[in-house]
């Protein structure tokens, strides 16, 4: 049997342990304000956020909140240069369609891809990060070109496509689709006098800038017109090109100038000539062109039209040469900032590497 002294020592030890346990409970647990958790989550990649939705209901609701999804997109998207065998198709940046039907990527927006299935001629929007897809209603007509736009004032996504009206034989047609609102494509009015003959005309150099979709209509007789579609207001305009721009149009490319307005550029004697469309609704071009020296051009004497030009920032232009070289050129310093070349037998492709949590109305998990 334990002595009285032993029993007292045992009871004293239990009391000390209880006091330590009680004092530990009295210590305030670590706490982070919700606003701080919100900001921290905004900096995490999509693949992590998809896992963290299972942590608790608060985190799941936060990650699915439209305000969080929009905030998560704010960091500047990065550009990724990849190299692929020249098969003629635009490669899927995450290879998630490998083994499935062949598809062509028509445009990127907010981390979403607008794709065309080459075998069925159907269209869909895919989020490569969440592996979700939205199959679009079948267009009623043969598509000449299609693009996707985000209307920030209404927080909605719209698509637009142009087609040739076969019944009239000489007119363009245009239809739009609002995701989550329209169950089918809607026609928009096109002013009289805008002709299109598929035998002699073609659409090229399509680009979307600040909610306006632009396309160049070129005829085999050397006639050029600029098609402008204000997607939010669903307005259609045709704009003439400046005579001086067409006079040196050996090579002419559309360019997002200062990341905000449309311009067209030509290369003349190793200089870049920039013509800016200041106001498409008033059909007003800049009075004076901008001339930029291209110090690297002498290294590629036989470029012809085998080049692609893109505005990256207010100062940096990207030149993709023959799908083999990527040249980042500084306007201010008139010098090459960075240059990358594809390995022999490979082609160079450029992707805007933006991951997003966006889930459009009607999206479903992609088929395995």
Last residue of a domain, one of 45, 75, 105: 75
| pTM for this model (two decimals) | 0.78
Termini Cα distance of the chain: 71
- Do 255 and 158 fall into the same domain? yes
Which range of residues forms the domain containing residue 57?
A: 33-75
In a domain, 125, yes or no: yes
Q: Of the candidates 13, 72, 12, 9, which has an alpha carbon nearest to the alpha carbon of residue 38? A: 72
Q: What is the pLDDT of residue 96?
A: 46
| 194-220 burial code (b ≥16 CB/10 A, e <16) | bebeeeebebebbbbbebbbbbbbbee
CB 126 within 8 A of CB 116: no
d(CA 359, CA 126): 9
Task: Please list the residues that pair with 177 across neighbouring strands.
Answer: 159
Among 25, 43, 75, where does a domain finish? Answer: 75
Residue 272 shares a structural domain with residue 346:
yes
Residue partners of 252: CB distance under 8 A and separation at least 6: 205, 245, 264, 265, 266
The answer to whether position 148 is within a domain reads yes
> Over the stretch 130-159, which tens digit does the pLDDT of each residue have?
999 999 999 988 899 999 999 988 889 999
Tens-place pLDDT, residues 154-171: 889 999 999 988 766 678
In the chain, the number of structural domains is: 2
Specify the range with the lowest mean pLDDT, choosing from 139-153, 201-215, 289-303.
Answer: 289-303
Question: Do 39 and 100 belong to one domain?
Answer: no
Residue 4 predicted with pLDDT over 50? no
Distance CA 292, CA 11 (A): 89
Local structure of 329: helix, strand or coil: strand
């Amino acid at each position: 049997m334990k002595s009285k002294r032993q029993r007292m020592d045992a009871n004293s030890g239990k009391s000390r342990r209880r006091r330590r346990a009680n004092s530990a409970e009295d210590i305030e647990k670590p706490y982070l304000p919700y606003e701080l958790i919100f900001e921290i989550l905004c900096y995490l990649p999509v693949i992590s956020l998809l896992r963290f939705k299972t942590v608790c209901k608060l985190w799941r609701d936060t990650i699915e909140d439209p305000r969080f999804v929009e905030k998560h997109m704010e960091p500047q998207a990065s550009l990724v240069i990849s190299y692929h065998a020249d098969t003629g198709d635009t490669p899927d940046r995450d290879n998630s369609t490998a083994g499935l039907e062949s598809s062509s990527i028509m445009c990127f927006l907010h981390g979403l891809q607008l794709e065309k299935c080459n075998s069925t001629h159907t269209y869909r929007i895919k989020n490569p990060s969440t592996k979700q897809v939205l199959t679009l209603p079948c267009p009623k007509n043969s598509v000449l070109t299609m693009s996707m736009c985000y209307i920030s004032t209404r927080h909605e996504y719209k698509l637009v496509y142009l087609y040739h009206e076969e019944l009239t034989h000489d007119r363009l047609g245009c239809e739009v689709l609002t995701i989550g609102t329209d169950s089918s494509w809607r026609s928009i009015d096109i002013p009289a006098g805008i002709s299109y003959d598929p035998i002699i005309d073609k659409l090229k150099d399509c680009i979307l800038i600040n909610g306006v979709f632009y396309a160049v209509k070129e005829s085999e007789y050397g006639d050029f017109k600029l098609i402008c579609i204000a997607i939010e207001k669903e307005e259609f305009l045709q704009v003439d090109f400046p005579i001086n721009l067409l006079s040196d149009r050996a090579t002419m490319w559309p360019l997002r100038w200062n990341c905000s307005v449309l311009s067209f550029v030509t290369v003349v004697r190793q200089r870049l000539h920039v013509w800016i469309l200041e106001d498409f609704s008033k059909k007003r071009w800049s009075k004076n062109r901008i001339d930029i020296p291209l110090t690297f051009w002498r290294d590629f004497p036989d470029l012809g039209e085998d080049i692609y030009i893109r505005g990256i920032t207010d100062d940096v232009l990207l030149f993709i040469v023959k799908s083999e070289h990527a040249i980042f050129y500084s306007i201010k310093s008139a010098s090459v900032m960075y240059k990358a070349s594809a390995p022999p037998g490979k082609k160079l492709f450029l992707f805007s590497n933006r991951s997003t949590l966006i889930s459009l109305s009607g999206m479903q998990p992609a088929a395995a």
